Amino acid sequence: MSRILIVYSTTDGHTLKICSRLKEWLEQEGHEVELIVVEDAGGAELEAADKVVIGASIRYGKHGKQTYQFIARYGEVLDQKPNAFFSVNVVARKPNRDTPETNPYLRRFLTQISWKPRELAVFAGKIDYPRYNFFDRSMIRMIMWVTKGPTDPKATIEFTDWDKVRQFGDVLSRM
């Protein structure tokens, strides 16, 4: 089996939860898996890996700048290995926005980087209003109101389709 590096960027921890679940499933398949936050990932970890997966969350329509910087710095190394990218965002809760071909954030992201991931996925994230500070709670509620999503300030809603995440894990295992 192979050594898989999962590099992640998370805002509120849900992308890490998805990465951890992928790690668990891949290890059950016999792979050796290392999770590392994008700020701590570097050339040594990439060189030691057989496969590289990057997972990144969206906040206010954008992936974190560290994800862009990592890809810009290590794009050539990524291209030399089996690789994948997945995006986590609440827009993906909608059926017409839940694939790599239909998710506007992932589509825009791919036009802004030179690296072309071999495998792609997009997963619906989580809203956790009680955990957000006043500003984020207010902004996210406004966005949800406009997009006809949940606005109860006491609500915590996980939209992630774990079967879809598992299917992506199977793709990663075979790539």
- Check residue 144 and give its pLDDT: 87
**pLDDT band per the 50, 70, 90 thresholds, residue 44:** confident
The strand pairing partners of 5, in sequence order, are 34, 52
State pLDDT tens for residues 15-40: 999 999 999 999 999 999 999 999 99
Alpha-carbon 54 to chain mean position? 7
pLDDT mean across residues, the chain: 94
CA distance 171 to 64: 25
pTM for the full model?
0.93
- Judged against a pLDDT cut of 90, whether residue 132 lies above it is answered with yes
Answer positive or negative: Cα dihedral of 153, 129, 59, 83.
Answer: negative
- Check residue 81 and give its pLDDT: 95
CATH class of 3-125+160-174: alpha beta
> Where in the chain do CATH 3.40.50.360 domains reside?
3-125+160-174
The answer to whether the beta carbons of residues 147 and 93 sit under 8 Å apart is no
CA distance 168 to 120: 9
